[in-house]
């Protein structure tokens, strides 16, 4: 595990949030709630992020994680999409 995650300083860096930061926070958020195996929405995961980020930023990060194969995405009815973690180095 990278030191920035071990000591929880990643969110203090100017580059926050990177895709890796997002995956770390999402993984921890779901682990704390015993929901790693469950599906979740882009709206439902907003509370995972240490700092407030826009809906557009959230969408870009999630889409990038889908493109990299870390998450799967299922379009929902309306604006929301639903995701699952496929793999994460933080599990």
List, for residues 51-78, the tens digit of each pLDDT value: 889 999 999 999 999 999 999 999 988 8
Residue 52 has which token pair?
A: 């407030």
**Residue entry with tokens 């682990």:** 31
How sure is the predictor about 1, in pLDDT bands with cuts at 50, 70 and 90?
confident
| Cis amide leading into 90 (omega within 30) | no
List, for residues 9-63, the tens digit of each pLDDT value: 999 999 999 999 999 999 999 999 999 999 999 989 999 998 889 999 999 999 9
d(CA 72, CA 63): 9
59, 64, 82 from 41: Cα distances, Å: 11, 15, 4
Predicted pLDDT at 69:
98
pTM of the model: 0.93
**Structural domains of the chain sorted by starting position, each given as residue range(s) with its CATH number in brackets:** 16-85 (1.10.10.10)
């Amino acid at each position: 595990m990278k030191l920035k995650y071990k000591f929880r300083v990643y969110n203090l860096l100017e580059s926050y949030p990177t895709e890796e930061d997002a995956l770390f926070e999402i993984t921890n958020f779901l682990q704390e709630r015993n929901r790693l195996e469950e599906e979740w929405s882009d709206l439902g995961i907003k509370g995972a992020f240490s700092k407030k980020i826009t809906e557009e930023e959230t969408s870009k990060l999630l889409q990038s994680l889908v493109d990299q194969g870390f998450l799967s995405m299922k379009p929902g009815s309306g604006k929301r999409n639903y995701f699952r973690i496929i793999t994460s180095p933080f599990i």
